[in-house]
Structure 1
Amino acid sequence: MSVSDEDIAFAKELFEGVGHLTTRKMMGGLCLYSDGTIFALLYSDGTLFIKAQGDFIDEVKALGCTQWTYQREGKDKPTAMPYWTLPEACLDDPDEAKALARKALSYL
């Protein structure tokens, strides 16, 4: 399944103004970049993920975000990626989403 045009438009609008925003479709999803740095993903089901590293991980955990994991064939444990679900509040408030994106970028 690929990401829908509506979901792409929503993500672009949500993060509009977070640097020079560009996107790239990859593996059925979409990568979002600010000034050439990837900071978020849009999964094919419409879920938005924010990249978190360092101390920012504790902050996104405190916001109730969950880490993106997937199961590789032939592996016993899931593989964890450095992307965390965007908090529900951010989906309804572009200012909060942009603030979180800028914070994520400050750790990259």
Structure 2
Amino acid sequence: MAVDAGLVAWVTEALETVGSVTMRRMMGGATLYMDGAAFAIVTSDGVLRFKADAENDALWDAAGCERFSYEFANGRIGTMNYRRAPEDLYDDADALREWAAPAIAAGQRAPKKKPKKR
């Protein structure tokens, strides 16, 4: 499946007042960055998921936003620190900005990846 370009455009437009959103395609989906820090992913099924961490997990839990999980070929289940976005933000820019804020903060808190040695 292709990345939902309309969803990426909506997020980018809604967050223009917050900062610059960029995208990098990954494994059938896309990672969204705010000023260089990963804050969300759009999965291949067109679902927006926001970055979570120990500081904001309780917020996502209280809202019933499940953790992103996937199945490996061998049947093992893996998870990532991304939570499904609440349904009400898909047509409400204010709600999108409100829910994106803790995800952006989590992205900024995340340890920076070290450059690969050559």
TM range (shorter): 0.7 to 0.9
Q: Does 1:67 align with 2:67?
A: yes
CA contact (8 A) 1:11 1:42 kept: no
Percent of residue pairs bearing the same amino acid type = 36
Higher mean displacement: 63-72 or 91-100: 91-100
CA contact (8 A) 1:18 1:101 kept: no
CA contact (8 A) 1:50 1:104 kept: yes
Equivalents in 1 of 2:88, 2:4: separation in Å? Answer: 22
Equivalents in 2 of 1:20, 1:65: separation in Å? Answer: 25
CA contact (8 A) 2:28 2:44 kept: yes
TM-score, scaled to structure 2:
0.80
Q: Secondary structure of the equivalent of 2:95?
A: helix
Residue 24 of structure 2 is matched in structure 1 by: 24
RMSD: 1.6
Distance 1:5 1:104, change over 3 A: closer
Larger radius of gyration: 2
Read off the aligned partner of 2:46 and give its amino acid letter.
G
Distance 1:28 1:53, change over 3 A: same
1:18-48 deviation per Cα after TM superposition (whole angstroms, max 9, x unaligned): 3221111111111110010000011122100
Shift of 1:55: 2.6
Higher mean displacement: 34-43 or 86-95: 86-95
